[in-house]
A and B are shown apart, each in its own frame.
Chain A
Amino acid sequence: EAGVAQSPRYKIIEKRQSVAFWCNPISGHATLYWYQQILGQGPKLLIQFQNNGVVDDSQLPKDRFSAERLKGVDSTLKIQPAKLEDSAVYLCASSLDSPRPRGETQYFGPGTRLLVL
Chain B
Amino acid sequence: AQSVTQLDSQVPVFEEAPVELRCNYSSSVSVYLFWYVQYPNQGLQLLLKYLSGSTLVKGINGFEAEFNKSQTSFHLRKPSVHISDTAEYFCAVIATSGTYKYIFGTGTRLKVLA
* Residue from A44, A102, A109 in contact with B94 in the complex, judged by beta carbons closer than 8 Å: A102
Does A55 contact B100, Cβ atoms closer than 8 Å?
yes
How far does the Cβ of A85 sit from chain B's closest Cβ, in whole Å? 17
**How long is the Cα–Cα vector from A2 to B19 in the complex, in angstroms?**
33
Does B102 contact A106, Cβ atoms closer than 8 Å?
yes
Does residue B90 face the partner (Cβ distance < 8 Å to A)? Answer: yes
Most chain B beta-carbon neighbours within 10 Å: one of A4, A44, A105: A105
Q: Which residues of A contact B44 (CB under 8 A)?
A: 43, 91, 93, 106, 108
Residue of B nearest to A42 (CB): B104
Q: Which residues of B contact A91 (CB under 8 A)?
A: 43-44
Does A42 contact B32, Cβ atoms closer than 8 Å?
no
**How long is the Cα–Cα vector from A103 to B42 in the complex, in angstroms?**
23
**How long is the Cα–Cα vector from A42 to B44 in the complex, in angstroms?**
11
Residue of A nearest to B32 (CB): A103
Interface size band for A: 20 to 34
Does residue A110 face the partner (Cβ distance < 8 Å to B)? Answer: yes
* Residue from A100, A101, A110 in contact with B42 in the complex, judged by beta carbons closer than 8 Å: A110
**How long is the Cα–Cα vector from A107 to B55 in the complex, in angstroms?**
24
Does B43 contact A100, Cβ atoms closer than 8 Å?
no
Most chain A beta-carbon neighbours within 10 Å: one of B46, B95, B102: B102
Does B100 contact A43, Cβ atoms closer than 8 Å?
no
* Residue from A44, A48, A109, A111 in contact with B100 in the complex, judged by beta carbons closer than 8 Å: A48
**How long is the Cα–Cα vector from A42 to B103 in the complex, in angstroms?**
9
B10-63 CB contacts (< 8 Å) to partner A: 32, 36, 41-46, 49, 51
Does B51 contact A56, Cβ atoms closer than 8 Å?
no
* Residue from A42, A93, A111 in contact with B107 in the complex, judged by beta carbons closer than 8 Å: A42
Q: Which residues of B contact A105 (CB under 8 A)?
A: 46, 49
